[in-house]
Amino acid sequence: MKKSVYSGVFILVLGIFLVGTVQAQGVSKTVFNADKYFKIRNYNEALKLYLEAIEAGEGDALVYYNAGVCYEQSFEINEQVKAIPYFEQAVKLGKDQLPPKLLFDMAAVYHLDGQVEKAIDFYQQYKAVLKDERAEIQKVDRALEIANNALIMMSSPKDISIHNFGQVINSSYTEYNPVVSADESVMAYTALRPNTGKTRSNEEFIEEVYISYNQSGTWSQPEKIEITSNYNVGTAGLSADGQRMLIFIGAAEGAGNLYSIDKSGKEWSIPTTLGPKINTIRHLESTASITPDGKTMYFASNRPGGYGGLDIYQIKKLESGEWGEAVNLGPKINSKYNEDAPFIHPDQWTLFFTSDGHNTMGGRDIFVTRLFNDEWTKPENMGYPINTTADDNYFTLTADGRKGYFSSNRKGGNGGQDIYTIDMPEEEANVPLTMIKGRILDGETGQPLPTQIYMIDNESGKKLDFVYQPDPKTGNYLIILPPAKNYDMIIESEGFLPYTLNINIPGQTYFYELFQMIYLKTIKQFDVVVGQSVEVKNAFYDTHEDAVTDFRKTHESALIKSDSIDVYDLMNDLIAASDEKGIEYLTSLIYMTNSIDDVSFDSSQELEQATRVYYYDESDESKFEKKEVDGKTIFSLPTMYVTEEAEKQKAEKANQPVTYDKSLLNKVSKLYFDVSKSELKNSYHEELDKVIDALKKYPELGVQISGYASAEGNEEFNKKLSNERAIAVLDYINQKGEIVRRRIIAKAFGATKNAGGNAEESRRVEVELVALDQASR
C-alpha cells in the first residue's frame, strides 16, 4: 500500500517537473526565435514572440527590455509609448542585468509620452553612468536640453484650439504637409498609401498627392492628382491663389527635386522643373514657398555648404525673369540639425518653418521668424500645444492670419501623421491685408474670358507678378494686396481692348476680402464693334469694420490700431493688433470660407457698382493711355476709377430728376421702305426731326433704331438690306442732330418673322426714344 502511494507521488512530481521543463524549453525556444528577429531588426515579428514568451511566464529582464525596444521602434506613436510598462518591468526585474542604454530608451519614451519630468530623471541617470563617451554625452545633453524646453513650454500652454481634420482627410495611414490657398478654397497634401504594385513595386508604401476643395465650409472627398513618376511625389508648396502647386518628386539614393504644376479648372499640367538654380543633381530639395508677387522663393535643401542637414534658402528673380543665386538664410535660422518646410506668409515678412534644432521641445517643431530691417529675427518656437513632444511640422497660415494648418503624429490621431488646424491666438492672428477674389465674364454669354492681368504699384511703378492670372476654365482670380497702396489693374481680355481699373487699398488695420465681378460686353452697330462696356461690381469695398463684420457674418469688433505700417516695403513696423472680443470672433470665423459663388452681387447694400462705356471713335473716350509693363507697351482705354465712378453714378441716379415726359418712351415710329430699296423717304423727315428735337432737349434719352426686311431673298441679302435701311435713318439723324454715338442704339434684324402676312410691314425701320440708364445694348 505504501509502495503504491509513494509511487503515485513520485510519478506526479515527475510529471510536474517534466511539464515545467517542457514549458521552460518552449519559452526558451520562443525567446531564442524572438532574439533572431530582434538581431535583424524585424521588430514586428520579434515583438509577437516576446509577448508570447511573457504571456507564458518568461521573467527575464532582457526579454521585457527587448519587447519595449520593439514597441519603441513602431511606426505609430500610440504604439511607441506602449514600451513604457515593459521598460519599467525590466528595471524591476534587474536593471543591473541590462545595457545602460535602457535608461536613455526609458527617458525617450517618457519624453514622447509627455512625462517630461520622468524623462529628465532617466536622462540624468544615463549621463551619470557614462564615462569618456564624448559623442554619447553630447547626445544626452541635447536630449536634456530638449526635455527642459518641453517642461518650460508645457508649464505655460497657449490658450488656443487645435482640431483634427477628421476622417474625410485623415486615415489610418499618414497624411502630411498640407498646402492651402490664401482663401482656403483648396488644400493639397501628401498621403502615404499602400503600394498596389502599379508603380515603384519595391516599396511597401508610396507617397501621393491628394487635393480637396472647400465648398461653403465643407471639404470635398479628396482626389488623387495623377503625377507620373517612378519615385515618391508630394506637396511642397502652393501659390496664394491655388493656381500653381510646387511638388516634390523623389530620385535615387535619397535625392529629389522641386517641380511645379499649373491648374486649369480641375486639371493639372505635367510637372515642370524649377531649374538648376533651385534643384541639384545628387542632393535633396524637399519643400518650397513663394511670395504672392512670384519674385522670391524659400526652399529647403541639403546641398553642400549649409550648416547641417536640411537648410532653408532664399532665391529671387532677376529683372530678366530668371532665378538668381540661392542664398542660405544663415546660422540664425539654420542650425546643425534640419530646417525644412518654409512657408512665407502673403505679408512677405513672416516666415514659418519646421526644425528639430533650436529650442525644439521634442521631434520636429514649428518655428516663426520675421523680417525687420532686412534681417530675420531669432526663430521663435510656436509653443505648446501647437508643438508637442511628437513631430509637429509643415505649417501654413491663411492670408487673414486666423487659421493655421499643419501635420503631426501626436497621440490621439487616426494613424501616422494627421492634418490639424489651429485657431490662431487673437493677438497673433490679425494681418491687415486685402484679398481680392474676382471673376471676369463675358456679359452676353456669362462665360469666362481668356485674360491676362497686370497689377502696377502706382507709387513705385513696379508690376506685381505670379498670382493674378484668372483660371481659364472659371475666370476666377485672386489678388493679395497690402494696405495704404494704390494700384492700376490692367486687364487684357480676349476680344476686347485693354482696359484699366484703379484700385485704392486704404490703410486699414485688419484683414478683409473684396469680391469682384467684371462683365465685359461689346457694343455693336450693324454687326460692327464700335465700343465696349466694362461693368464692375465690388461686393464689399466699404472698409468700415462694422460692414466687414456683417458681410463675413462674424463678431469682429473694434481693433486697436497698430503703429505706422509700410507693408509693401516688407511691413517692417507692423504689429499685430488685439481684439477685445476675440473669443466670440474665433467661434464664428474659423470654419467660414467665403466663396465668390456665395456672394450676391444684386442685393448687397454695400455693393459698389460702376459701368464705363467706351466708344472707339469718340476722341474724348478713345484717348488711349500708354502703359509700360516689364518692357511691354500696352495701350489701354482710359483708367476707370471704380470707387469714384460708383459714387458718382450712384449720386447721379439718386439726384437726377426725370425732366422728360415718360410718355415719350411709349411711342414707336415706323418708317416704311420700297421693295429691295433702302432710300429714306422725304415724308419721314418731319417725324425724325421731332425725335432729334427730343434728343437735344433731354440728354438722358437715346434713340434706338431697328431695321427689318421682308422674307423674300436669302438671309444674307435680307440682313444687308435691313442694315442699309437702318443706316439711312442713322445718317439722317447724324447729319441733322449731331447726336453722339453713345446715345444711339442701332440694330438690324434681317427678315421679319412675324409681320402678319403684311409685306410692307416687313420692310420697315422702327425708331423709338429710350432712357439711356435702362437701355440694353
d(CA 714, CA 450): 36
Instruction: Read off the pLDDT band of 199 (50, 70, 90).
Output: low
Whole-number pLDDT of residue 606: 66
Q: Which residues is 705 bridged to in the sheet?
A: 746, 767
> In 3D, which of 248, 252, 251, 276 has the Cα closest to residue 341?
248
Q: What is the mean pLDDT of residues 210-236?
A: 90
* Residue 20 pLDDT greater than 80, yes or no: no
User: Cβ(154)–Cβ(114) under 8 Å?
Assistant: yes
Q: What is the pLDDT of residues 259-280, one digit of tens each?
A: 999 988 878 999 999 999 999 9
Task: Report residue 198's pLDDT band, with 50, 70 and 90 as the boundaries.
Answer: low
Residue 133, number of CB atoms within 10 A of its CB: 12
C-alpha distance from residue 213 to each of 188, 190, 266, 595 (Å): 9, 15, 10, 11
Q: Look up cell 523623389; give the residue.
A: 250
* pLDDT at residue 7 tops 80: no
Element (H, E) at 476: strand 476-481
Task: At 87, give phi and psi (nearest 5°).
Answer: -65, -45
Residue 37, pLDDT > 90, answer: yes
> In this predicted structure, what is the pLDDT of residue 82?
95
Q: Which of 597 and 317 is assigned the larger pLDDT?
A: 317
Residue 431, pLDDT above cutoff 70: no
pLDDT the model gives residue 234: 95
Q: How long a stretch of residues is the chain?
A: 777
Q: What is the mean pLDDT of the chain?
A: 81
Do strands 418-423 and 161-164 pair parallel, antiparallel, or not at all (unpaired)?
A: antiparallel
pLDDT digits (tens, 9 = 90+) for 239-259: 888 888 999 999 888 889 999
**pLDDT exceeds 90 at position 18:** no
pLDDT above 80 for 508: no
Indicate the range of 141-155, 189-203, 691-705, 749-763 predicted with least confidence. Answer: 749-763
- CB proximity list for 754: less than 8 A, separation 6 or greater: none
- pTM as predicted: 0.64
Q: Which residue has the cell 526565435?
A: 33
pLDDT-wise least confident of 20-29, 48-57, 344-353: 20-29
524-563 in b/e form (b: 16+ CB < 10 A) is bbbeeebbbbbbbbbbbbbbebebbbbbbebbbeebeebe
Distance CA 65, CA 497 (A): 77
Count Cβ atoms within 10 A of the Cβ of residue 146 and give its class: 0-12 exposed, 13-18 middle, 19 or more buried.
buried
- Closest C-alpha among 429, 437, 363 to residue 397: 429
With CA atoms as reference, report the closest residue to 479 among 513, 520, 506: 513
Grade residue 777 by pLDDT with cuts at 50, 70 and 90: low
Pairing mode of beta strands 296-301, 205-215: unpaired
Neighbouring-strand partners of residue 481: 434
pLDDT, average across residues 716-737: 83
Percentage of residues in the chain having pLDDT higher than 70: 81
Q: Residue for cell digits 506685381?
A: 464
**Regarding predicted confidence, which is higher, 522 or 623?**
522
